[in-house]
């Protein structure tokens, strides 16, 4: 039976997402909001006040729980960035150093826009063919090929970071003023004993510490959910159409559980996580052909996972409400595992074993 379906959730979701993005900084938040941002917290116009801020930098770093590096490729080529890194580890040996690549948020935004493009193409194909078919996903997924290619290139920059750390050379670090260079180098010698000792620290312990913490890229759960909101919106439009058309309650529930939650939410997040993981493990290469080939492989795997999820989700939805519930439970468990659930289980097991031995 024909069931008319609008796209209010899909297109209204774009406006809501953009509005939420613009309003987010002004919404109340229970987390600590204080931070020391060098370019803002240190006077950049008055040289005397700038020096006072620089000399007092150690106190701020010592009181900080975490140094969050908004990393971009030129980071290790800037002497002042290296100075802050050296100062934090000297003043706060137990502090946390967190890499926050600026390119990651741009990749998430591109993935989100690619999701909307995919849903728009999917709607257009359905409108032209006049019938629902899983084959309509083939042209619909094509916009995501470019997104995955950009994502792969973006995440390969992290490999460059570890290579830069391993081959770190303090003499090549850029500083605009020679007087500033003398000040920074003098401080590093005071903290680490010599410039050679600091260089060895960056190439050795620091590189190993950061690589152990950030060797793979696992998208935070809220980023993964943001990326799949276009797919969820499309599923909600179809769910609303079924309800307004007077479909039986069991069918509406089966669709909501099996398709909207199981497929459009959980399975889509699994596909996003898998593609991100594959992109982060791709080989950094100067060959454009090799790069495109790697992106094509990631895209084909992403497409295969997507098609498998659509097939199983559709079978569960059309079979029974119980089948939809089982499918959702399986998708939730798999999502939990790929989001680090296995590591949490291993850590919990080690804690229990340690307490038992004690």
Residue 23, domain member (yes or no):
no
**Is 66 strand, coil or helix?**
strand
Domain, as residue range, for 197: 34-101+160-214
Residue 66, domain member (yes or no):
yes
Q: Which residues contact 62 (CB under 8 A, 6 or more apart)?
A: 91, 92
CB 186 within 8 A of CB 328: no
User: How much is the average pLDDT of 295-300?
Assistant: 92
219 token code pair: 């998208």
The number of beta carbons lying within 10 Å of the beta carbon of residue 243 is 14
* Model pLDDT for residues 122-153, shown as the tens digit of each residue: 888 887 876 667 777 888 888 899 889 888 88
Residue 94, domain member (yes or no):
yes
Q: What are phi and psi of 271, to 5 degrees?
A: -65, -40
What is the model's pLDDT at position 347? Answer: 67
CB 298 within 8 A of CB 349: no
The 8 Å CB, 24+ separation contacts for 52-57 are 54/183, 57/84, 57/87
CA atoms of 108 and 269, how far apart (whole Å): 12
User: How much is the average pLDDT of 156-166?
Assistant: 74
Residue 121, domain member (yes or no):
no
* 11: confidence class by pLDDT, cuts 50, 70, 90: confident
CB 187 within 8 A of CB 87: yes
The H or E element spanning position 344 is helix 342-357
Is 80 exceeded by the pLDDT of residue 262?
yes
Is 60 exceeded by the pLDDT of residue 120?
yes
Q: How many domains does the chain have?
A: 1
CA atoms of 324 and 321, how far apart (whole Å): 5
Spell out the alpha helix ranges (H) of 215-287: 221-244, 249-255, 268-280
C-alpha closest to that of 146 among 299, 303, 300:
299
Residue 22, domain member (yes or no):
no
* 203: confidence class by pLDDT, cuts 50, 70, 90: confident
> Percentage of residues in the chain with pLDDT exceeding 90?
21
- Dihedral class, residue 247 (left if φ above 0, else alpha if ψ from -120 to 50, else beta): beta
Residue 275, domain member (yes or no):
no
Q: Mean pLDDT over all residues of the chain?
A: 82
* 1: confidence class by pLDDT, cuts 50, 70, 90: low
Residue 339, domain member (yes or no):
no
**Range with the poorest average pLDDT among 67-76, 323-332, 333-342:** 67-76
* 230: confidence class by pLDDT, cuts 50, 70, 90: very high
Higher-scoring residue by pLDDT: 251, 105:
251
Residue 2, domain member (yes or no):
no
DSSP notation for 6-25: --HHHHHHHHHHHHHHHHGG
* 330: confidence class by pLDDT, cuts 50, 70, 90: very high
What is the model's pLDDT at position 346? Answer: 66
Which residue, chain included where needed, has tokens 């460059």?
160
What is the model's pLDDT at position 227? Answer: 92
Is 60 exceeded by the pLDDT of residue 98?
yes
Please give the sequence-ordered ranges of beta strands (E in DSSP) within the chain, or none if there are none.
Answer: 66-69, 96-99
């Amino acid at each position: 039976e024909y069931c008319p379906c609008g796209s209010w959730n899909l297109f209204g979701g774009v406006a809501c997402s953009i509005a939420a993005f613009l309003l987010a900084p002004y919404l109340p938040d229970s987390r600590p909001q204080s931070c020391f941002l060098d370019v803002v917290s240190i006077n950049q116009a008055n040289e005397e006040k700038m020096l006072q801020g620089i000399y007092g930098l150690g106190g701020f770093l010592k009181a900080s729980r975490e140094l969050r590096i908004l990393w971009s490729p030129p980071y290790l080529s800037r002497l002042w960035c290296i100075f802050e890194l050296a100062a934090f580890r000297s003043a706060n040996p137990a502090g946390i150093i967190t890499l926050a690549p600026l390119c990651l948020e741009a990749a998430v935004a591109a993935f989100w826009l690619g999701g909307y493009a995919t849903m728009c193409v999917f709607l257009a194909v359905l409108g032209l063919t006049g019938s629902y078919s899983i084959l309509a996903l083939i042209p619909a997924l094509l916009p995501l090929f470019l997104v995955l290619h950009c994502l792969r290139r973006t995440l390969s920059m992290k490999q460059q970071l570890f290579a830069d750390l391993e081959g770190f050379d303090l003499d090549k670090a850029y500083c605009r003023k020679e007087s500033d260079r003398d000040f920074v180098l003098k401080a590093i010698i005071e903290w680490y004993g010599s410039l050679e000792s600091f260089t060895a620290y960056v190439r050795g312990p620091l590189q190993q510490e950061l690589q152990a913490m950030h060797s793979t890229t696992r998208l935070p759960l809220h980023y993964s959910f943001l990326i799949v909101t276009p797919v969820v919106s499309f599923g909600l439009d179809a769910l609303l159409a079924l309800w307004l058309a007077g479909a039986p309650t069991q069918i509406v529930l089966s669709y909501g559980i099996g398709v909207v939650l199981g497929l459009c939410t959980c399975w889509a997040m699994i596909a996003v996580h898998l593609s991100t993981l594959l992109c982060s493990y791709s080989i950094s290469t100067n060959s454009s052909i090799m790069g495109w080939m790697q992106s094509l492989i990631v895209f084909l795997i992403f497409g295969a996972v997507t098609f498998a999820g659509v097939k199983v989700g559709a079978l569960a939805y059309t079979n029974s409400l119980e089948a939809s519930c089982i499918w959702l439970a399986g998708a939730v468990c798999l999502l939990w595992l790929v989001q680090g659930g296995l590591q949490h289980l291993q850590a919990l097991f080690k804690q229990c074993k340690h307490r038992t031995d004690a």
